[in-house]
C-alpha cells in the first residue's frame, strides 16, 4: 500500500469510516474519463471455476476494508496497481474468455464494481445481446444509497446481482470492515431497492452472507430481516466463509480477527485459527 493510503486508512479506522466518503476517494484513483468514456482500473481478466465456470474481470479499488479480503494485495486495498479499460475493452476480454472456454457467465469481482457506475452500465449495455449471464458481485453500499442506480440495473434481464453482506449485524459489520456500523443497513437496503424496482428475488438478486465471525442467533435475526424484505430472500442465501489463503491469514492476524468457522484452500474446514 502506498504511504499516503496507509496514513489515510489509519486516520479512518480511529473513528470508523464512512464507506460513501471512501467511495469518492477511491474513485479518484481508479476511474478516469477519456473522450467522455468512463474507464476503470482492472488488474486482471481470467477464467475461474466458480459458478461452474465463469469469465472474470477483477477491478481495482473498494469502498470497504474487510479484514478477510482475498484480494487485498492486488485489488481492494491497494490502488497503485492495474491498468485502465474502457467498457468496450472489458467487454471484449470477458466475452472472448467466456466464448473460448464454453462458459455461459461473466462477472466483475475483486474490488467494488459499482464505484464506476457509468463504466458498469455501459458494460451491461454491451452484453445485452451476448446471451451471457452477467453476475455483479457487490457489497451493495452504493446501490443501497441510490435507488436510481437500482432502477437502471434492473433493466437488464440477464443481470444477476449478488449482494455480499459483511456479517449478520451492525457489530459484525464493524468488526469485519472497520466502517461505521450503521452502514451495515445499506447492504440490506440494496436488496430492498432492487426488488422494489422489479428484480426477482433469488433469480435476479440474492444475498450472500459472510458467516465466519457471526453467532448463530445473529444469523437467525438476519434471516428474519431478509424475510421482511421479501419472503424468498432467506431461502436463497449464499453462505460465505473465510478461505485461509496465506495472504488472507496474514491480514486476519494484522486485524486480530479470529473466524469461528473457516476453510483451508483444499476445502477442509477449520473451526478456529
| Domain-wise residue ranges, the chain | 3-270
- Per-residue pLDDT, 268: 74
User: DSSP secondary-structure letter at 179?
Assistant: B
Structure-model confidence comparison of residues 25 and 77, the more confident one: 25
Q: Which H helix or E strand runs over 85?
A: strand 83-85
List, in sequence order, every residue forming a beta bridge with 42; answer none if it has no partner.
Answer: 59, 83
- Per-residue pLDDT, 101: 97
HEC letters along 205-233 = EEEEEECCCCCHHHHHHHHHHHHHHCCCH
* Alpha-carbon gap, residue 8 to 188, rounded angstroms: 28
- Per-residue pLDDT, 14: 55
- Per-residue pLDDT, 273: 46
Q: What is the pLDDT of residues 198-220, one digit of tens each?
A: 999 999 999 999 999 999 999 99
pTM to 2 decimals?
0.91
The answer as to CATH 1.10.10.10 being correct for domain 3-270 is: no
Angle among Cα 270, 166, 108 to the nearest 5 degrees reads: 100
- Per-residue pLDDT, 2: 42
Mean pLDDT of 61-70: 92
Amino acid at each position: 500500500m502506498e504511504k499516503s493510503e496507509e496514513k489515510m486508512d489509519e486516520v479512518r479506522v480511529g473513528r470508523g469510516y464512512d464507506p460513501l466518503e471512501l467511495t469518492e476517494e477511491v474513485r479518484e484513483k481508479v476511474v478516469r474519463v477519456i473522450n467522455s468514456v468512463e474507464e476503470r482500473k482492472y488488474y486482471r481478466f481470467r477464467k475461474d471455476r466458480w459458478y461452474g465456470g465463469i469469465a472474470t474481470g477483477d477491478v481495482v479499488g473498494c469502498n470497504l476494508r474487510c479484514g478477510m479480503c482475498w484480494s487485498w494485495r492486488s485489488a481492494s486495498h491497494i490502488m497503485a496497481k492495474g491498468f485502465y479499460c474502457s467498457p468496450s475493452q472489458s467487454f471484449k476480454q470477458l466475452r472472448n474468455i467466456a466464448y473460448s472456454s464454453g462458459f455461459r457467465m461473466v462477472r466483475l469481482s475483486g474490488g467494488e464494481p459499482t464505484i464506476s457506475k457509468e463504466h458498469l452500465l455501459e458494460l451491461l449495455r454491451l452484453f445485452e445481446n451476448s446471451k451471457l449471464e452477467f453476475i455483479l458481485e457487490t457489497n451493495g453500499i452504493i446501490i443501497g444509497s441510490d435507488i436510481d442506480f437500482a432502477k437502471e440495473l434492473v433493466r437488464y434481464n440477464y443481470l444477476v446481482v449478488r449482494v455480499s453482506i459483511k456479517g449478520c449485524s451492525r457489530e459484525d459489520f464493524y468488526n469485519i470492515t472497520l466502517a461505521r456500523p450503521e452502514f451495515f443497513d445499506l447492504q440490506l437496503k440494496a436488496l430492498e431497492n432492487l426488488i422494489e424496482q422489479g428484480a426477482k428475488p433469488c433469480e435476479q438478486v440474492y444475498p450472500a452472507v459472510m458467516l465466519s465471525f457471526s453467532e448463530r442467533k445473529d444469523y437467525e435475526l438476519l434471516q428474519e430481516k431478509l424475510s421482511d424484505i421479501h419472503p424468498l430472500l432467506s431461502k436463497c442465501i449464499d453462505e460465505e466463509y473465510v478461505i485461509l489463503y496465506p495472504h488472507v491469514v496474514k491480514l486476519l492476524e494484522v486485524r486480530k480477527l479470529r473466524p469461528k468457522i473457516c476453510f483451508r484452500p483444499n476445502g477442509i474446514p477449520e473451526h478456529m485459527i
